[in-house]
Amino acid sequence: MKFDLTATIVFVGLFLFITWIGFIAARWRKADLNLLHEWGLGGRRFGTVVTWFLLGGDLYTAYTFIAVPALVYGVGAMGFFAVPYTILIYPILYLIFPRLWQIARDRGHVTAADYVRDRFGSRWLELAVAVTGILATMPYIALQLIGMEVVIGALGFPAGGFVGHLPLIIAFIILAAFTYTSGLRAPALIAIVKDMLIFVTIFAAIVIIPAQLGGYGAIFASVPQEKLTLTPPGAGTLGSYSAYVTLALGSALALFLYPHSMTGILSSSSGNVIRRNAALLSAYSFILGLIALLGYMAIAAGVGSDPAYAAGFSQYGANFAVPALFLQSFPSWFVGVAFAAIAIGALVPAAIMSIACANLFTRNLYKSFWRPDCSDADEARVAKIVSLVVKVGAVVFILAIPQAYAIQLQLLGGIWIIQLLPPILLGLYTRSFHPTALLVGWAAGTAIGTYMAAAQGFATSVYPLSILGVTIPGYAALYSVVVNLFLATALSWVLDFVAKRGLTSKPSPPL
Amino acid sequence: MTKTAAKRAWRRYWPRLLFLLPLTAVLTVPFYNRLEPTLAGIPFFYWYQLAWILIGAVIVIIVYLIETRLTHTAEAPKALVDTPDAPGDLL
């Protein structure tokens, strides 16, 4: 790939701009950043607009922008499951999270694990929630680096070796520095710039590229027809249909259980801010749907067979489809804008994820198990340091370990995080679950889900479940959380029964 | 749940049943897994799902409006907005 000077200058310029914003964010809505809820939740003062940018920047990550069209480019219609997934997340957000926000605000919870301990009075359940959250988020941060690495490579920087990784390392040092000083305020402000860039890029892409390729009709006509729809299932199986639906449903249920989603939600200023965003965030979903179609535009533009991009495709695989499409379709300066949008789109979620992990570690491991009497300032200091450690860990992870492992771990992360559904979501509505039962359900669900992924060689999270001779391929996360839920319910009932017979039991305290 | 409690819950939460619409729209894969009719060159499979993102958003807005204006399930934002140190409602 040839080094693109104009694009690089624009890219670096925009990067310096958001670095400046990241540091001045510390003075935005000035407050004592030595308090964890100020550093790690922005003081719970973000209104509808800021929350919209923050959650949009948080949930629609750079990796999504690269990987979703790459999937559509590679497998076609199945990759479009990201769209029904985004249709389902907003009713879930609306129904459940205003209530969680209210409880967290009233009782001073900073993390989901805080809430679970308070609700069920169990430190072991708190530990399970915190550890699951941290383990599921770490590979997610690493994946953001992949998104960034692809665009930096596409600018023409030499790949591989220490020199090749240098831009990435510099970007992460900057990220670590402004997250340390400004906390959640930094990604909230930067998200505004990032989203403007994304909107401009996508608007240009859906207007300019189809015009170059002869309209949407021509684009879809150039895609192999069997790719355009899901393969209808044969006899004795639900085939791609059940896989498509369970992937959408399972991913939607898992999304808001991730610590970084929780951090974004808890930082808003009221339940109604969350309700309004359940409608307004659809704008990003629509953008994501259009971004998914970029995969087909890349097929129509023939970037895959263009020798100019052969090196990129051999290095990054299908993930190179969108950068190649932009390089082919846009003038250099606009390529700089588009790539900066993607790279900054990696920094915002990476910052929020590292803050979320830091909050979990500090509140639920450090304070709960090690130093219960630590001061508020101590708590915030530990969180800041942990946010640095998490980012160093992600960089080392991506540089030292083959990329395929990061992707597989992220896939496992989705299966692990959904196991928090019974303790977090159901606890909001009923007190009838017993902490021990929830813990057993969590352990069983995690084990079964991991087994299902392992049985597929960690290549896919779609598990071919056989019931009465009918094969129902479906998302392992959804299958395993059903087991989790069943065990949690049945065991709670048994434990309650035992308690009524005069044996000891500890019902959860009212909220 | 007693009968009156159930009645009260129904009066408060009935608008949320509207969320069954997007769920049904997504679950009926065999219905939308087709190419025709196309819209401006875009096959049905794609524009149907893109359209449901927008319809889904409208449904959320409708439920929100009913719950804030009619049933008062979602509490209206408190009058904190005007005081200088209040958390932002919009920004």
The helix or strand, by DSSP H or E, that contains position A473, with its residue range, turns out to be strand A470-475
Torsion A483-A485-A489-A491 (CA) sign? positive
CA dist A432 to A104, A412, A427, A493, Å?
20, 29, 8, 8
> Residues 6 or more apart from A227 whose CB is under 8 A from it?
A75, A76, A77
How far apart, in whole angstroms, are the C-alpha atoms of residue A272 and residue A98?
A: 7
- Confirm or reject contact between A95 and chain B (CB < 8 A): yes
CB A121 within 8 A of CB A506: yes
* Cβ atoms < 10 Å from Cβ of A493: 14
Residue window 214-233, chain A: list those with CB within 8 Å of chain B.
215-220, 225, 228-230, 232
Residue window 10-69, chain B: list those with CB within 8 Å of chain A.
16, 19, 22-23, 25-27, 29-30, 33-35, 38, 40-43, 45-46, 49-50, 52-54, 56-61, 63-64, 67-68
Q: What is the CATH number of domain A5-233+249-404?
A: 1.20.1730.10
Give the residue from chain B lying closest to A284, CA to CA: B53
> Residues 6 or more apart from A213 whose CB is under 8 A from it?
A219, A222, A297, A300, A301
Domain residue limits, chain A: 5-233+249-404, 430-511
Residue type at position A100: L
How far apart, in whole angstroms, are the C-alpha atoms of residue A408 and residue A420?
A: 20
How far apart, in whole angstroms, are the C-alpha atoms of residue A146 and residue A148?
A: 5
How far apart, in whole angstroms, are the C-alpha atoms of residue A235 and residue A274?
A: 44
CA dist A331 to A152, A346, A465, A474, B26, Å?
17, 23, 49, 43, 39
Predicted TM-score (pTM) of this structure: 0.89
- Confirm or reject contact between A212 and chain B (CB < 8 A): no
Q: Which residues of B touch A90 (CB under 8 A)?
A: 56-57, 60
- With H, G, I as helix, E, B as strand and everything else as coil, classify residue A503: coil
Tokens of A56: 């949009």
Cis peptide bond upstream of A69, omega within 30: no
CB A272 within 8 A of CB B75: yes
CA dist B2 to A370, A462, B7, B10, Å?
46, 42, 9, 12
Give the residue from chain B lying closest to A282, CA to CA: B57
Write out pLDDT tens, residues A32-67.
888 888 898 988 889 999 999 999 888 888 878 888
How far apart, in whole angstroms, are the C-alpha atoms of residue A462 and residue A20?
A: 43
Q: Which residues of B touch A43 (CB under 8 A)?
A: 87
SS3 for A122-145, per residue?
Answer: CHHHHHHHHHHHHHHHHHHHHHHH
How far apart, in whole angstroms, are the C-alpha atoms of residue A319 and residue A73?
A: 9
Within a 13 Å sphere around the CA of B15, how many CA atoms are in the beta-carbon half? 20
Mean pLDDT over B52-74 rounds to 87
Domain residue limits, chain B: 18-74
Look at residues A218, A403, A434 and name the one whose alpha carbon lies nearest to residue A316.
A403
- Confirm or reject contact between B1 and chain A (CB < 8 A): no
Q: Tell me, what's the ipTM?
A: 0.87
pLDDT per residue of chain A (511 residues) written in tens, 0 to 9: 678 888 888 989 998 998 999 998 888 888 888 888 889 898 888 999 999 999 988 888 887 888 889 989 988 998 898 899 999 999 999 999 998 998 898 888 999 999 999 888 889 999 999 999 999 998 888 888 888 888 888 888 776 667 778 888 888 888 899 999 999 999 999 999 998 898 899 889 988 999 999 888 899 999 988 888 888 887 778 878 888 999 899 999 999 999 999 999 999 998 889 999 999 998 889 989 999 999 999 999 988 888 888 888 888 888 899 999 999 999 999 999 999 999 998 889 999 999 999 999 999 999 888 888 888 888 899 999 999 998 888 888 878 877 777 777 878 889 999 999 999 988 888 778 889 999 999 999 999 999 999 888 888 888 888 888 888 888 999 999 999 999 999 998 898 888 777 655 455 555 5
Residue type at position A274: I
Whether residues A272 and B74 touch (CB distance < 8 A) is answered with: yes
- Confirm or reject contact between A381 and chain B (CB < 8 A): no
Look at residues A26, A60, A381, A343 and name the one whose alpha carbon lies nearest to residue A184.
A26
How far apart, in whole angstroms, are the C-alpha atoms of residue A193 and residue A53?
A: 9
CB A417 within 8 A of CB A450: no
Give the residue from chain B lying closest to A80, CA to CA: B46
